[in-house]
């Protein structure tokens, strides 16, 4: 008798568990987003943190924050369905995203966006320091040589930071990205100032080489 009662109880428990699981699965089918709750909420949290870090550098309007959130979420969704080995498709998607962000934000906010991307993609041990500081140092040195206008300084910061960001994400394309950077700088500056830019690049490259040889 006891065995019969125990068997019946176990059967009821199994049926109840199966019914509950079926109801949960049905709920997920009605609400597809619930399948990826962890991923969804992690993305939301990262995105909120990303926007907050940008705001620490440059104020954003409510419309800019909402627009930025939409652009980044669309990009995130696109990445999930993309072949991870398709580097060309990835590069095209990144460029399209950045063009949308650039059209949305002010020059100052766009630079803050690029700098924040750099900071959030930096190596765990961050041996190179803050990339924004490196760009500022280069621009200050160039200003000493060539007397840049305020507009040229802003545009140079954007070009240099964009280059650093793209190299971090696509290191195998460094030479191609450097050539594209130099073309942008050449289009921005006068021939005399561009010459000073090229000279400064050579000087800093020699200094880095010397520093490495001494260590």
Whether 129 and 96 share a structural domain: no
Whether the CB-CB separation of 59 and 68 falls below 8 Å is answered with: no
* 9 pLDDT higher than 70: no
The pTM is what? 0.65
Quote the pLDDT of residue 171. 87
Quote the pLDDT of residue 85. 75
Which helix (H) or strand (E) element contains residue 48? Answer: helix 37-57
How does DSSP classify residue 129? -
Question: Which positions ≥6 away from 105 have C-beta within 8 Å?
Answer: 60, 64, 68, 113
Give 80-98 pLDDT, tens digit per residue: 888 877 878 888 888 899 9
Whether 94 and 128 share a structural domain: no
Q: Largest alpha-carbon pair distance within the chain?
A: 101
Whether 99 and 126 share a structural domain: no
* 13 pLDDT higher than 50: no
Whether 132 and 210 share a structural domain: yes
| Total domains, the chain | 2
User: Predicted confidence band at 192 (pLDDT cuts at 50, 70, 90)?
Assistant: very high
Give 101-152 pLDDT, tens digit per residue: 999 999 999 999 988 888 876 554 444 445 557 888 999 999 999 999 999 9
Whether 202 and 170 share a structural domain: yes
Domain that holds residue 100: 40-105
Estimate the share of the chain in helix, then strand, then coil, as percent rounded to the nearest 5.
85, 0, 15
Give 15-41 pLDDT, tens digit per residue: 444 444 444 444 444 444 444 456 666
- The CB-based long-range contact list for 104-109 (8 Å cut-off, 24+ gap) reads 104/64, 104/67, 104/68, 104/71, 105/60, 105/64, 105/68, 106/58, 107/154, 107/155, 107/158, 108/58, 108/154, 109/54, 109/58, 109/59, 109/60, 109/64
């Amino acid at each position: 008798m006891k065995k019969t009662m125990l068997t019946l109880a176990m059967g009821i428990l199994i049926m109840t568990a199966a019914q509950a699981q079926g109801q949960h699965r049905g709920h997920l089918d009605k609400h597809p987003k619930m399948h990826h709750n962890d991923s969804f909420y992690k993305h939301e949290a990262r995105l909120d943190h990303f926007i907050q870090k940008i705001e620490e550098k440059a104020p954003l309007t409510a419309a800019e924050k909402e627009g930025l959130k939409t652009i980044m979420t669309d990009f995130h969704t696109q990445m999930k369905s993309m072949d991870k080995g398709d580097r060309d498709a990835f590069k095209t998607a990144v460029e399209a995203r950045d063009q949308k962000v650039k059209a949305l934000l002010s020059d100052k906010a766009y630079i803050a966006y690029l700098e924040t991307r750099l900071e959030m993609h930096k190596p765990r041990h961050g041996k190179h320091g803050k990339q924004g500081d490196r760009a500022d140092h280069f621009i200050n040195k160039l200003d000493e040589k060539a007397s840049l206008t305020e507009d040229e300084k802003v545009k140079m910061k954007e070009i240099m930071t964009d280059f650093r960001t793209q190299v971090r994400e696509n290191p195998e394309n460094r030479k191609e990205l450097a050539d594209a950077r130099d073309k942008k700088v050449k289009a921005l500056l006068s021939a005399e100032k561009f010459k000073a830019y090229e000279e400064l690049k050579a000087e800093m490259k020699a200094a880095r080489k010397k520093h490495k040889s001494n260590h």
